[in-house]
Structure 1
Amino acid sequence: MEVTTHRGTGPLQQVIEIGPHRILTDVKPEFGGEDSGPEPHDILAAALAACTTLTVSLYAKRKGYPLDDIKVSIKHGQEGAAYGLHRTIEYIGALDDETKARLTDIANKCPVHKTLSGTIQITTEAI
C-alpha cells in the first residue's frame, strides 16, 4: 500500500490519499492553517486507537467473550524529549478482571502498537 499527499485548498491543508480513500489534514489557524482536518499527530493517535479496537474486538469475538463494545481514547503530545501516547481502554460488557487483563495484553499486540513500540526506519528519497 502506498500513501501519498499533496497540497489541498487551504494554505497548509494536505490531502492524504490511501488507495481509494482521502483524508484531509491541516493545522490550527494560530499555526497558519484553517483547522479543516486533524493534525498529523492526531491521525497517528487515531491509527493506534482504531487498530486497538479492531484487534481486541476480533480476538474477543473469536474467543466468545461478551465484549459488547470497546472505547479507546488516546491523549498525546510532546513530553520532554519523547512524544507520549497515553491510551485508555474502556471494555463494555460482562467481563471479569482476568478477561480484561487478557484483552489488554492483546491490545498491546495490535500491529500499530507493535510498530510504534519497535524500531522504525525511515528512508527518504528526494526527486
Structure 2
Amino acid sequence: MKSEAFVESTNKRYTQTITTGNHTLIADEPTELGGDDKGPAPFDYLLSALGSCTSITLSMYAERKNIQLDVITVRLTYIPPNEIDGSSSRIIRKIHLEGDFTDEQEHRMLEIADRCPIHKTLRSNVDIMSSFE
C-alpha cells in the first residue's frame, strides 16, 4: 500500500503542517531546541508510527487467531547513537498485553510484533530519493 504525506513550513520557526490522507497534523521541535513545541517532534512521530503499527498488527493477529486481547500498550524510547563509544541508535519497545491467552500465545505475539510493517521498514535498507519539484 502506497502512503503519501505533504509537509509544509509555517511562519513559525520550526513548526510544520503535515497533510496525509484526510488528516492534518503539526510537527515542531521542543522549546529547548528552538521550536515552539506546537506538536510532536519528528522522532516522536517515528516512535508513534512504530507503536501504533505494533498494536494494530497484534490486534489483527489476535482477531485472526481468536485470542482474547483486551489491552495492548506499547512504550517506546529512542536512544540516539553515541559517537564516543560507537554505539548505533536504538529503539527500546516494551509491549504490555492483557487478556486471556497462554504463555505460548504470548511468546508468539512477541514474534508477530516484529512483523509489523513499520518495524520491518526500519530494519531494512530504504532508498530515499530526493529531488526538487
The bucket for the TM-score relative to the shorter chain is over 0.9
Alpha-carbon deviation of 1:79? 2.9
* Residue 125 (structure 1) aligned with residue 127 (structure 2): no
How many matched pairs? 127
Distance in 2, matches of 1:61 and 1:112, equals 20
Aligned-partner SS, 1:82: coil
Residue 103 of structure 1 aligns with which residue?
Answer: 109
Aligned-partner SS, 1:79: coil
Name the TM-score, length of structure 1 as normaliser: 0.93
Aligned-partner SS, 2:71: strand
Give per-residue Cα distances to partners, 1:11-45, cap 9 Å, x unaligned: 21001111221110001112111111110011001
Distance in 2, matches of 1:62 and 1:9, equals 47
Alpha-carbon deviation of 1:97? 1.5
Name the TM-score, length of structure 2 as normaliser: 0.90
Q: Which amino acid aligns with 1:119?
A: N
Aligned-partner SS, 1:33: coil
Residue 85 of structure 1 aligns with which residue?
Answer: 91
Specify every segment of 5 or more residues in structure 1 that has no aligned partner in the other structure, as ranges: none
* Residue 64 (structure 1) aligned with residue 70 (structure 2): no
Q: Which amino acid aligns with 1:68?
A: D
Give per-residue Cα distances to partners, 1:70-124, cap 9 Å, x unaligned: 1111111203252211100001112221111111111100000000011111111
Distance in 1, matches of 2:64 and 2:11, equals 44
**Alignment map for 1:1-127 (pairs within 5 Å):** 1-80=3-82, 81-127=87-133
| Structure 1 stretches of 4+ moved >6 Å | none
Specify every segment of 5 or more residues in structure 2 that has no aligned partner in the other structure, as ranges: none
The percentage of aligned residue pairs carrying the same residue is: 35
